[in-house]
Structure 1
Amino acid sequence: MAATAPATDPPGLSPAVTVASPPSQPTPEELVARAVAPVKPAFLRPPPVREAPKEEGKAAGVTAEKKSKRQLKRERQQEKKSTSHLCIEVGKSGNADSCKYGASCRFSHDINAYLAQKPADLEGTCPFASSGMVCPYGLTCRYLSTHNNQSPENCPEGNREINFLNKDTQKLLWKNKYDFPKASAQIKLLGLKDIKKNKVSSANDDQKADIYSPDKSCELNGNDQSESPCNISVNVEPESNLCKETDNSEAEPLVASSVQLVEPRPLKKSKVEVDETQNHGAGIHDNLAESEDHKLSNGLEVPSINQSSCRTDLITIPHLREKKIIDFRGKLYLAPLTTVGNLPFRRLCKTLGADITCGEMAMCSNLLQGQASEWALLRRHSSEDLFGVQICGPYPDTIARTVELIDKECSIDFIDINMGCPIDIVVNKGAGSSLLTKPMRIKSIVQAASTVTEKPLTVKVRTAFFEGRNRADSIVSDIYDWGASALTIHGRSRQQRYSKLADWDYIYQCAQKAPDYLHVIGNGDVFSYTDWNKHLSDCSKISTCMIARGALIKPWIFTEIKEQKHWDITSGERLNILKDFVRFGLEHWGSDSKGVETTRHFLLEWLSYTCRYIPVGLLDVIPQRLNWRPPSYCGRDDLETMMASDSAADWIRISEMLLGKVPEGFKFAPKHKSNAYDRAENG
């Protein structure tokens, strides 16, 4: 019987030719090991082929015209006079004669011309009218047809914002005439050099201490700001052999507190202090012990205790244990987030279960200059019942003045000092994570800032500046004595940015060294309630976990933690969350054309993160990890597929579902490279 070819051979091929079997599908475990999200095969699709984007103008061979500053200014002035820019007072009242500037006003008063060119109203209801309030934007509101005639007296008290910058305060800051009595006295008391120079000479200038912080690496940044007058005088009466700098050492400056002040007792220096002495020329770092010989009270003179001490009249400053205490234990803490952590987003997270919120990082120098845009970062909504602000600066005097300013002008529950920001523009100024290389300056900053406010002071750091050279554990045991009530540790170094996973073992190690009164807060890669439970159970000294990118990608993580579940949220439920954000944004930025587009901009910035979320029902392994790269996949409906897209065009389509069509020529590029999983440029 003749041999026949195997039935498995494809037709037209000889028996000698073998067919390669298709590659086997990787298992979910293999995908997880490669940090690829294990999406069920039924939802996978081949990745689209994309062409490299062409630069605008090059394809057509057109070079964009470069306009001079004078020409741009002229165009802006002409645009203000155009009918599209109606005077605010006229738009609010609907009366062309309501503006007090009359014909000299820079904006248009022609109501009919404005209404003729105004875009059609958006679908939906004015967020102010839906709350029973009178819309402050009047004729310029994009939901004008839904306005009612309710009087301002009937406005509800619920949706309110506070911490606005007072105009009189702003003028004083502009003119460098704002008083900082506590900060000025404390800087002198600690023997720190005041970088803020006084333009007007005074008789007391020659009595200012010329001793800078123990950290000799602090250099002047060239700020030519004048020192504000001080209402509380600090009288320095040098005696013989007192207040003299020695060549070999500097004594520890006194710390103002309501506890007894005593002669410092030299102790064995820690490794950090030895390094600082060798590298920066710092002097001996002494500790304060209790004594009955020296007590601090109002107007009580402190006798000299060593060759570098001064006879000083001091002010009473409450000790850390006398301050208001915040119990962070077990509370859901939304991290301060650059750009996306705005007030509407924080309001949204409060509705989803967040307990603690914190404003975006504000630069101290900008706050002290009275910049309205920077002060907007301190704004607080009435729903934020436990709210803090985060500030960043390089020098003790700058931070101390900022803390005193915020304490006077704002309603807050705590102040957080950022010492972990990795952004180059911040680090190059000596602020943020660059302070991790200067532990003596960290001490000076915390001491100076904590004694000028009765609000709790918290500090946020990274593990280190350089990879493999952890430094956070060297300050965790002392930072409470310096004045901090909580320390947040992000489990990555500055050099690492967001590559690799957070080092929670090192966070646990730091927490074990912390004193009992210090709250240690861990931060990094918390993306589910199982992550939250694990970190709190693995180390009992961790008070809570700060949630950052996890909240950006899925803000309902707070609901998941409180309800202890993996929420397989639908696309419709996610759209409702976006609608809430838009409503909060219109209330915050305004319901006129400018407010609508500002809300759209921040919505798009947020959508650049939410596209990384993979629904629970599509995964072979749950929960999703923060470092997983999602493959190209289809959702369970068209909206879910669109929400999973990493294309800005799809994000714009989602915004048009909520805020109407984008203006002609609209373009958007996300500020943060949120899709760069191994390396992130943002802080």
Structure 2
Amino acid sequence: MTETIGLKRKASQDDLKSLAEGESNKSIKTVESINSDLHSSEDTRNKGMLRVKPEYRLLSSSKDTQNSNYDDDGAEAAGVAHTSGSSKHKNRGQNKPKDRKQIVQHDSIRLCNKFATGEQCNLGSNCKYSHDIQAYLAEKELDLGPVCPQFALLGECKFGIKCRFSKAHTDAEGNQMVAEKKLNEDQFIKNCSTKSIIQDIKQKNIDCTRSKEFIQWWSAEEIKLQQRLNELKKRKEEPRAGAEATLIPLRPNEKKKIDFRGKSYLAPLTTVGNIPFRRVCKSYGVDITCSEMAIARQLLRGSPQEWALTRRHASEDMFGIQLASNDPTQFTQTVEILSQKVDCDFIDLNMGCPIDTMTKSGNGSALLERKNKVRGMLLGAVHVSSVPITIKMRIGLSNKKKIGHKIIPLARDCGVAAITVHGRSKEQRYTKLSDWDYTMECAKMTKMTWHSPDASTVTPDWVTEPPAFFGNGDVFSPQEYWDHVDHSTDSELPLAGIMVGRGALSKPWIFKEIKERKLWDISSGERLDMLKDFTKFGLECWGSDTMGVNTTRKFMCEWLSFLYRYVPVGILEVLPQRVNERPEQFVGRNDLETLMASDNSKDWIKITEMLLGPAPESFQFIPK
């Protein structure tokens, strides 16, 4: 457990003690006590309903179910919420970007950064920020505690007296202190020095020779390829798997070798998949992490916000960057720049995002029906990259037309290192269960196309083994994870592993459960400790000034909009909880457990106040 950040909120420690009072000391249940009930008869389940023990059920509908309508597409693309054809307004799942605009929380007096750290401002009267330190201190909110996360980590705090923990590094004369052993931020956060990269991009000072070489080849080859496919279409012949890619460009770059097999994988998650959340998941043992989805076009334009998504914490020892693109030229150039300038272990092409604003522009799952573009993007990326290329995809645009399996031989012949298949279509979103039967057929096809003489005759000689294959969808317990993985060992191609998304958002300790192969009846106190860790990580990542504190608060609320869905193991009547089940209304084993189960966003803000002090009056959180 990390060091607890002291709180100035009145009676906060007493609040926490009373809320968690009565918590069971036995948090990790044995395999015998949990697993003996795992495969309870299906007739004990109500379809779509998660049953809790009678003593925890609420008989009357007294809860405010403000946010009970889940919208899990919110984790797939930034700033976009799913809309349906219904005219009835719902509080959750239909809050559009304009409704979700958050007020940026600053100090009431915007103090100059130079003055905050005891330096002189060269702008003088032309500075747009205040130089009146006494006026600022008179208006500044109380410190949140005696330990500054920035100072504790780096040996100095760049926010000076603006820090909400400023007493930790300010002496009696008001001077800012610096520890004897001062460390640089890039020793903890990699890829944080992107200003020089952005400058080089804008000044075109980056060598993209291999991209230019490939693009020249591809432009001519695309014309020939289309002519060849048109001829086959006229003859009404079905192109055999791989036949479209008979011409291969120059040999690809030598690549870093990565063994994906047997590893747990945290899905790329927009907004909620930030560095603090990924660090929490790393603390529970996840092996592979990936950035939030970045737009290749924006990276090429030198967008600072987009380049910030490439940052990686030192604890992420197997880390990838996911890109969205609809253009072989842009994608190839972006991959070459990333592989030269950024510290990552692999680069992933997003072929799964279902959000309309993405698919209408040809990104995400729309690529499933643009095989020529996919071929160009993958061939180009493999040609220029010094790290492995992977893809994440859905099964198709609709359930009636499952076409994901057609991408597998194409991707294999392009030389991708890993394929992840999410067993849902674009149209399906999260309304039905993931199709694991089809996912496993895709896994088998990877092996079949690899060994079939009729399908593999054009596989280039530099592709020496089939890609690692990950399934994805609806895994919410270690039993579901290992049921799929262990079952796959009897098939022609075992799963390399399973990518976990929503399960990790609701219970990031699922990775601990997966490694130990047992459920964890985690206490509310232990979950609060997890949120304390997130708070510390957030203040290290986004800053310890007022803006950093409330940015941490905002992203904690984003996470709590998923985290509240977890139902404690100890109060369930039927095990395990499944991702698509909605629990009966219940109370927890103590007040804190009950509060953590609330679907009311006002209660999520209350939880942040336990860790970050009182929220500003103007602070509001509107869930997706």
Does the alignment reach a TM-score above 0.5?
yes
- Aligned residue in 1 for 2:239: 270
Q: Structure 2 residue aligned with 1:162, among 184, 187, 190?
A: 190
Give the structure, 1 or 2, with the largest relative contact order (CA under 8 Å, sep 6 or more). 2
Give the letter aligned to residue 86 of structure 1: L
2:542 maps to 1:542: no
- Aligned residue in 2 for 1:21: none
- Aligned residue in 2 for 1:86: 111
Give 1:545 shift. Answer: 0.5
Cα distance, 1:479–1:114 mapped onto 2, change above 3 Å:
same
2:120 maps to 1:151: no
Q: Structure 1 residue aligned with 2:585, among 609, 614, 632?
A: 632
Alpha-carbon distance in 1 for matches of 2:230, 2:575: 61
- Aligned residue in 2 for 1:551: 504
Q: Structure 2 residue aligned with 1:599, among 527, 533, 552?
A: 552
Alpha-carbon distance in 2 for matches of 1:569, 1:610: 13
Unaligned runs of 5+ in 2: 1-39, 68-103, 171-175, 451-464
Give 1:178 shift. Answer: 4.8
Alignment of 1:261-300 (within 5 A): 269-270=238-239, 285=244, 287=246
Q: Structure 2 residue aligned with 1:42, among 39, 55, 80?
A: 55
Alpha-carbon distance in 1 for matches of 2:205, 2:400: 46
2:472 maps to 1:523: yes
The Cα offsets for residues 376-418 of structure 1, whole Å up to 9 and x where unpaired, read as: 1111111111111000010111110110111122000000000
Alpha-carbon distance in 1 for matches of 2:371, 2:181: 55
Cα distance, 1:439–1:108 mapped onto 2, change above 3 Å:
same
Alignment of 1:611-622 (within 5 A): 611-622=564-575
2:133 maps to 1:111: yes
SS in 1 for 2:593: helix
Contact 1:123/1:660 (CA < 8 Å) preserved in 2? no
Runs of 4+ in structure 1 off by over 6 angstroms are: 245-248
Cα distance, 1:130–1:487 mapped onto 2, change above 3 Å:
same
Contact 1:214/1:441 (CA < 8 Å) preserved in 2? no
Alpha-carbon distance in 1 for matches of 2:54, 2:42: 14
2:602 maps to 1:643: no
Contact 2:229/2:244 (CA < 8 Å) preserved in 1? no
Cα distance, 1:34–1:91 mapped onto 2, change above 3 Å:
same
The Cα offsets for residues 322-361 of structure 1, whole Å up to 9 and x where unpaired, read as: 5222111111111100110001111111111111110000
CA RMSD across the alignment: 2.9
Alpha-carbon distance in 2 for matches of 1:546, 1:522: 6
2:215 maps to 1:181: no
Alpha-carbon distance in 1 for matches of 2:342, 2:225: 32
Identity across the alignment (%): 43
- Aligned residue in 2 for 1:339: 271
- Aligned residue in 1 for 2:462: none
Cα distance, 1:427–1:479 mapped onto 2, change above 3 Å:
same
Alpha-carbon distance in 1 for matches of 2:178, 2:527: 35
Contact 2:320/2:346 (CA < 8 Å) preserved in 1? yes
- Aligned residue in 2 for 1:66: none
Give the letter aligned to residue 155 of structure 1: K
Give 1:439 shift. Answer: 1.7
- Aligned residue in 2 for 1:364: 296
Cα distance, 1:434–1:166 mapped onto 2, change above 3 Å:
same
Contact 2:64/2:600 (CA < 8 Å) preserved in 1? no
Give the letter aligned to residue 619 of structure 1: L
Contact 1:31/1:37 (CA < 8 Å) preserved in 2? no
SS in 2 for 1:348: helix
Cα distance, 1:144–1:185 mapped onto 2, change above 3 Å:
same
Give 1:41 shift. Answer: 1.2
Contact 1:165/1:375 (CA < 8 Å) preserved in 2? no
Alpha-carbon distance in 2 for matches of 1:316, 1:578: 48
Deviates more, 1:138-147 or 1:122-131: 122-131
Cα distance, 1:116–1:637 mapped onto 2, change above 3 Å:
same
- Aligned residue in 1 for 2:285: 353
The normalised TM-score by structure 1 is 0.71
Give 1:172 shift. Answer: 4.0
Deviates more, 1:27-36 or 1:106-115: 27-36
2:600 maps to 1:668: no
Give 1:168 shift. Answer: 3.7
Contact 2:368/2:407 (CA < 8 Å) preserved in 1? no
Alpha-carbon distance in 2 for matches of 1:367, 1:467: 33
- Aligned residue in 2 for 1:656: 609
Alpha-carbon distance in 1 for matches of 2:573, 2:337: 52
2:412 maps to 1:498: no
Contact 1:328/1:519 (CA < 8 Å) preserved in 2? yes
Give the letter aligned to residue 604 of structure 1: C
Cα distance, 1:507–1:36 mapped onto 2, change above 3 Å:
same
Alpha-carbon distance in 2 for matches of 1:213, 1:429: 25
SS in 2 for 1:417: strand
Alpha-carbon distance in 1 for matches of 2:547, 2:321: 27
Alpha-carbon distance in 1 for matches of 2:251, 2:413: 17
SS in 2 for 1:389: strand
- Aligned residue in 2 for 1:414: 346
Deviates more, 1:443-452 or 1:514-523: 514-523
SS in 2 for 1:495: coil
Cα distance, 1:286–1:661 mapped onto 2, change above 3 Å:
closer
Cα distance, 1:135–1:212 mapped onto 2, change above 3 Å:
farther
Alpha-carbon distance in 2 for matches of 1:656, 1:286: 57
Alignment of 1:315-464 (within 5 A): 317-318=252-253, 322-464=254-396
By percentage of residues, which structure has more helix? 2
Deviates more, 1:575-584 or 1:370-379: 370-379
Give 1:147 shift. Answer: 2.4
Cα distance, 1:83–1:460 mapped onto 2, change above 3 Å:
closer
Deviates more, 1:657-666 or 1:545-554: 657-666
Alignment of 1:565-584 (within 5 A): 565-584=518-537
The normalised TM-score by structure 2 is 0.78
Cα distance, 1:475–1:409 mapped onto 2, change above 3 Å:
same
Contact 1:83/1:113 (CA < 8 Å) preserved in 2? no
Q: Structure 2 residue aligned with 1:137, among 148, 151, 159?
A: 159
Cα distance, 1:83–1:593 mapped onto 2, change above 3 Å:
closer
The count of corresponding residues between Structure 1 and Structure 2 is: 520
Cα distance, 1:29–1:114 mapped onto 2, change above 3 Å:
same
Contact 2:251/2:383 (CA < 8 Å) preserved in 1? no
- Aligned residue in 2 for 1:20: none
Alpha-carbon distance in 2 for matches of 1:246, 1:40: 64
Cα distance, 1:213–1:370 mapped onto 2, change above 3 Å:
farther
SS in 1 for 2:429: coil
SS in 2 for 1:476: helix
Give 1:173 shift. Answer: 3.1
Cα distance, 1:419–1:591 mapped onto 2, change above 3 Å:
same
Alpha-carbon distance in 1 for matches of 2:500, 2:224: 34
- Aligned residue in 1 for 2:400: 468
The Cα offsets for residues 489-513 of structure 1, whole Å up to 9 and x where unpaired, read as: 0010111011111111111111111
The Cα offsets for residues 172-199 of structure 1, whole Å up to 9 and x where unpaired, read as: 434566542211210111226xxxxxxx
